Amino acid sequence: MNAAPGTLVRGRHVLTSASPEVLADGAVRIVGERIADVGPYAELAARYPADRVSGGPRDIVTPGFVNTHGHFSEALIAGMGEEYALGDWIRELIAPVAPHLGPEAAYVGTLLAGVQLLRTGVTLTGDMFVCDPAADGPPVTPGVVRALDELGLRGVVAFGAGDRRPGVTVAGVLREHEALRRAAGASRLSRFRVGITVLAAQSPELFARTVRLAVDGGHGVHVHLHEVRDEVRAARAEHGVSPVEYCARHGLFEAPTLAAHCVWSDERDIALLAGHGVAVAHNPVANMVLASGVCPVGDLRRAGVEVGLGVDGAASNDRQDMLEVIKSAVLLQRVHRLSTAALSARDALRMATLGGARALGLGDELGSLEPGKSADLVVFDGDSPALANVHDPFQSVVYCAGPREVRDVWVAGRRSVAGGGVTGVPVPEVVERSRELAADLVRRAGLDRLRHPAVAPAVPAAPEPVGGAA
């Protein structure tokens, strides 16, 4: 007797991020939350005649995309800071906002950005929520987990901790970590990591406590490292070593670590990252927006460092679009190296799927289409104009596809996007709810001054003459 009925997700091209990499006219069989089988569609349809069929004979099926690095804390302040490089961007935009982010902003901001991520094929997102922990009142970051659960979007969630701002204490930081850890522990889709904004944002006491929390607690770490040249220079001036070497010397890398950016990493830094099994989240669009530099992706990968891709936050990469990131990763390496061999579409797609899953320590559970793994996958609409003629499916996904081509997104065997629409939340209501919150946040943070002087307030339309136009 056949097993319990499942779902066959069919595609003209099934890109597995496993072996074989491509199945022609293939299908992925979902039973419950897991992938039960992968193979030619005709064989699976004959073997499981009671299964319902999703997808179609012209579609492309891929593993779900993994966004390794982002900040839902920035979701309400997109499109404000293009004139700033990182240091000024932190001082003028991020620092004023951090004290005013509460549980409601965390919840609604995550919904708003999460909808955008889902619509571009993301099934797992690594997030670092940067805020000042509440001195009293409820913790902030559990709102992220609540929103992810409603969206049907996986998260590896962290609180971006620092204690060098007025009013922030080590005790307050540790309370926020614990609140987020508990929330993630109660979630079906989220997991917890210990977050560090940057080395310079933490006192020696907090950094030491952070290391012990991560290592002794068995948690992973999410940290910014070597994003800009000034960060490395400042650490060398204060500590005599680079931030990477400082973290290695002080035991941070004893915990599984994801390092965002690593743009300004030399050979010694890269060797230390590789030797300690540190993974890197490459954020090409954000690095270009902030003029931070170009990550040495090829050098990192050749050294054996696992590199995933990140959308980053909405204040540094205003469009929360994973497909844009995947394409930009290829183009940036090619123009920087002046070589078409610098990075391929196939490389980038693997970085966005299995590479990202491995970077977050979840490569055994997801990131590729293989039996036993979680049923996280994306169906691209083969009847869309952009995918009308697929000569190479890897290049079609990376160079041709956009959000409109993402028809279905499955997370743990459930469709979080169906027919292009997000299923878990009422999107128009989320958008409307975000507007009041964003306006209030900008006002309280004193960011009205950042509005471009050339942008005039809307002028009401003149009333039409009674009886119609003359």
Rg for the chain, CA atoms, rounded: 23
Q: How many helices (H) and strands (E) does the chain have?
A: 17, 17
Q: If we measure between CA atoms, which residue out of 63, 65, 64, 157 comes closest to residue 110?
A: 157
Per-residue confidence (pLDDT) for residue 456, from 0 to 100: 42
Per-residue confidence (pLDDT) for residue 469, from 0 to 100: 28
Per-residue confidence (pLDDT) for residue 443, from 0 to 100: 96
Q: To the nearest whole number, what is the mean pLDDT of the chain?
A: 94
Q: Report yes or no: 373 and 31 within 8 Å, Cβ to Cβ.
A: no
| Amino acid at residue number 369 | L
**Contacts (Cβ under 8 Å, ≥6 apart) of 303:** 270, 271, 273, 274
Tens of pLDDT, residue by residue over 300-315, are 999 999 999 999 999 9
* CA 136 – CA 233 distance, rounded (Å): 37
Average pLDDT over residues 183-206: 97
Tens of pLDDT, residue by residue over 11-62, are 999 999 999 999 999 999 999 999 999 999 999 999 999 999 999 999 999 9
Complete domains list, the chain, with CATH: 7-63+368-422 (2.30.40.10), 65-359 (3.20.20.140)
Q: Report yes or no: 47 and 19 within 8 Å, Cβ to Cβ.
A: no
Q: If we measure between CA atoms, which residue out of 11, 123, 116, 25 comes closest to residue 381?
A: 11
Per-residue confidence (pLDDT) for residue 452, from 0 to 100: 52
pLDDT surpassing 90 at residue 120: yes
Average pLDDT over residues 145-160: 98
pLDDT surpassing 80 at residue 403: yes
465: confidence class by pLDDT, cuts 50, 70, 90: very low
Per-residue confidence (pLDDT) for residue 460, from 0 to 100: 43
Per-residue confidence (pLDDT) for residue 467, from 0 to 100: 32
**Contacts (Cβ under 8 Å, ≥6 apart) of 269:** 226, 242, 244, 245, 262
Q: If we measure between CA atoms, which residue out of 189, 99, 208, 107 comes closest to residue 416?
A: 189
pLDDT surpassing 70 at residue 353: yes
Burial per residue of 320-355, b for 16 or more beta-carbon CB atoms within 10 angstroms, e otherwise: bbbbbbbbbbbbbbeebeeeeebbbbbbbbbbbbbb
* CA 184 – CA 188 distance, rounded (Å): 8
Q: If we measure between CA atoms, which residue out of 352, 383, 384 comes closest to residue 368?
A: 352
Displacement of CA 467 from its chain's centroid (Å): 54
**Please, is 175 exposed, middle or buried when counting C-beta atoms within 10 Å of its C-beta (0-12, 13-18, 19+)?**
middle
Q: Report yes or no: 249 and 297 within 8 Å, Cβ to Cβ.
A: no
For the chain, give the percent of residues with pLDDT over 70: 95
What predicted TM-score, i.e. pTM, was given to this entire model? Answer: 0.94
Q: If we measure between CA atoms, which residue out of 135, 213, 203 comes closest to residue 168?
A: 135
Per-residue confidence (pLDDT) for residue 464, from 0 to 100: 36
222: confidence class by pLDDT, cuts 50, 70, 90: very high
> Which H/E stretch holds residue 319?
none
**Contacts (Cβ under 8 Å, ≥6 apart) of 309:** 66, 67, 68, 281, 282, 283, 284, 322, 325, 326, 329, 348, 351, 352, 355, 356
Per-residue confidence (pLDDT) for residue 2, from 0 to 100: 52
pLDDT surpassing 70 at residue 468: no
Q: If we measure between CA atoms, which residue out of 193, 104, 110, 185 comes closest to residue 147?
A: 110
Average pLDDT over residues 107-116: 98
